[in-house]
Amino acid sequence: MTTPPHHLSEASLPLFEGQTATPAGGSAQPPSYIRDHRKRLRERLLQGGPEAMPDYEILEMVLFRANARADMKPLARRLLEVFGDFNRVVTASEERLLQVEGVGAAVVAELKLIEGAAARLARSRVMRRHVISSWDAVVDYCHTTMAHRETEQFRVLYLDRKNILIADEAQARGTVDHVPVYPREVVKRALELNASALILVHNHPSGDPTPSQEDIAMTRQIDEAAQVLGLTLHDHLIVGKSREVSLKAEGYL
C-alpha cells in the first residue's frame, strides 16, 4: 500500500501522480486534447461558477495538479462511484482513498488540501464571533467539518462571557459508533481557557443524528459538572449526513 503523504519527505514525492522528472529537452505538457479539455473546463468554471458544474467535473479539476499529463475524468468518476458524492470523496480517510485504483500520495494530498481549505473557510465565519447571533454559521461549520467523517468525533466549542467563540477543540475520536467522553476533562479545559459557556458537538457516521440514550446521559453529566463550576452548557449538536439535531431543542437540556 502506498505510504500516506504525511509520511513522505518532499524530496520523495513525485512531481505528479505517475510522473517522473522530464529529461532535458523533453516536454511536461499533456497531449493537446487534454490541454483543450482542461481549458474548456476552466472557462466554464470562470463563466458559470462551480454551481454550474457537476461533481465529477469539479473533482476532475481538483485532480489536474495531481497528474500533469493524464486524463483525470475516469479517476474522478471512479472516486464518486466508490464514495458517493464530492463531500465524501474529499473527507474520506487516506487509508480508504489509497485503496482506490489510480490514487496515490499526490491525489490524496490534493483532496486533503481541499478538505482543509473548506474547514478553514467555515471556521473563519465563527471564530471570535458572537455564537448565538451567528448560530447558522456555527451549524454550517459543524456540518462541514464533521458530517462526512467515517468515525465519531467529539468537539467542544468554548465561549467567553459575551458568548464569543474563543476555542474549538476536538476532545476525542472514536470508532464508527462510539467516542469516549470524559465530563471532568471537558469542564477542566473550560476553566483553563477562562471560558464561561460551551457547546458540545459530535457526529453520527451512520448519518442518523437521532440522540442515543448514551448521548443524552453524557450530555446531562457534562451539564451537571458545568453548573457546579458556574459554566453554561448552551447545547449539544449531533451532526448527521444531511441534518443536525439540537438536544436543547429536543428538550434534553
C-alpha cell at 197: 459557556
8 Å CB contact between 76 and 59:
yes
Domain ranges of the chain: 30-120, 128-246
Hey, what CATH class is 128-246 in?
alpha beta
8 Å CB contact between 172 and 181:
yes
Cα 196 to Cα 163: distance, rounded to the nearest angstrom: 8
What fold does the segment set 30-120 form as a domain? DNA polymerase; domain 1 (1.10.150)
CB contact set of 59 (below 8 Å; sequence gap of 6+): 76, 79, 80, 86, 89
pLDDT in tens, 50-101: 888 888 899 998 998 888 778 899 999 999 999 988 888 988 888 999 999 9
Q: Give the pLDDT score at 7.
A: 44
Side-chain half-sphere CA neighbours of 235 within 13 A = 18
Cα 175 to Cα 169: distance, rounded to the nearest angstrom: 18
Q: How many residues does the chain have?
A: 253
Low-confidence ranges of the chain (pLDDT < 50): 1-27
Q: Give the pLDDT score at 172.
A: 67
